[in-house]
Structure 1
């Protein structure tokens, strides 16, 4: 295959979710509402955890970290998507694509690890509650969150470096709303075997291994809960919300990254990608706050403090 210098591709064209102007305008308003809901819900959850001493435990420390992560994750994708809904030319520069690729992969990989550690936290709380404070102390929680961020940064840095060293020979149209690895590999005219191997390694480390830990944790939790007489509903309530997020996030991510290259279907993939890039960050604060009495009470106390502060200022 004839190859040109990589610099011949100066930008990529993102086709987005639809080419119909009416549908694009409709999607703009829908995703704008979703984005604002995501920012508002996650910020309120962070403030509630930060200001309420009753929520200064490992469980809510993880939850606040997840909310901060979701704000960063959705902000690395949705604003550019909103601009493209209103633009005639839906282009992104080569550098801009690399930056978006890095942050979306970095933050997505971090969330995979963080959800697994949150499942382990619930396992310790329910299965070995007498040792919970000793095992899940502040230092252990901080280490788990740090490992999540550091590992996500490392794999994303390697993937971004190897992917954007590939040669792209004039083909620059991506049938997606973001710069995703499987579709970028399709545009390359150089050897992608190394990147493909790293893709499978990353899928194993950041999707299959955390999912295995989550499944193990919940199998043990279900086994433990079925043996107790009291507190079953409360125990299940603290876990079911996390499990819903896991099913949506991991299910859609594995569908995108876990299947062979010949099964990649661009029109379907970009719709599935909406779930782990846009929907899950919005659902996290809604699911956790609606199913958690402690968070609901903290939200009410935060609202009362805000109203009191407003009266003082006025």
Structure 2
């Protein structure tokens, strides 16, 4: 067994120090980001918040990688702030020997992390909004996230200008990317929803779990409507997607579904009666079913958009819970 040196950061107490420091750092970065947005892009974010991925922490996940000294003889910690709309995950992960077998095939060790490690963890490099690293002794820099006496005020004073510049570049990239998407023909996304970069969730795992041409077509159509701000047809089509998902779960559990029971409310009851779904899942399916009655919304535009977000989240959770291999 190959023994790798993590300089004590394989210990949970030291990982907690890193996490605490990174969380403080994230807050500082977001304060810079929001300051810039609120000063120069207030009208834009009020009209459509989708491009501004870092504005809310609920749309941002943190991935902290503890790497062994043997990785590049310099880096101790590599961390990423990732765009994960409507999902907030925080993970500290120790990179072990088995995951480093192909590291020397790459031109740079950080390229290896982006192209090998991130995809293994379900992320894509396009989701990276910000990343940074901390070096081992004797290279350790003044903003080391491994410091027990980490000072966010010190970071602000020493590096604030440079960090603000990086976030300005992030905002520019986000705006330009979103403008490019808006100029893309609707049919482009209707043919392949996984190409849609401002999805509420990463839709590829959902599509892979379903592995259904019918479902893919339905979801493609729903997100093409979403792209055009047509939230009413999007929500209606997402309801059809959810029915298809529930039918597949019924099939996996060999539950008999009559021809008149393919509506979402009936499928919810079938799954609940068979104790396939949890109480929470049943409750969320009930809410999704009630969203079919969209005419009662007092503020259709924004409310319908949030309904779409909710239905996508329910599908993603259901697929992850019931269709992923054990």
TM, length-normalised to structure 2: 0.31
TM, length-normalised to structure 1: 0.32
Larger radius of gyration: 2
Higher strand share: 2
Higher helix share: 1
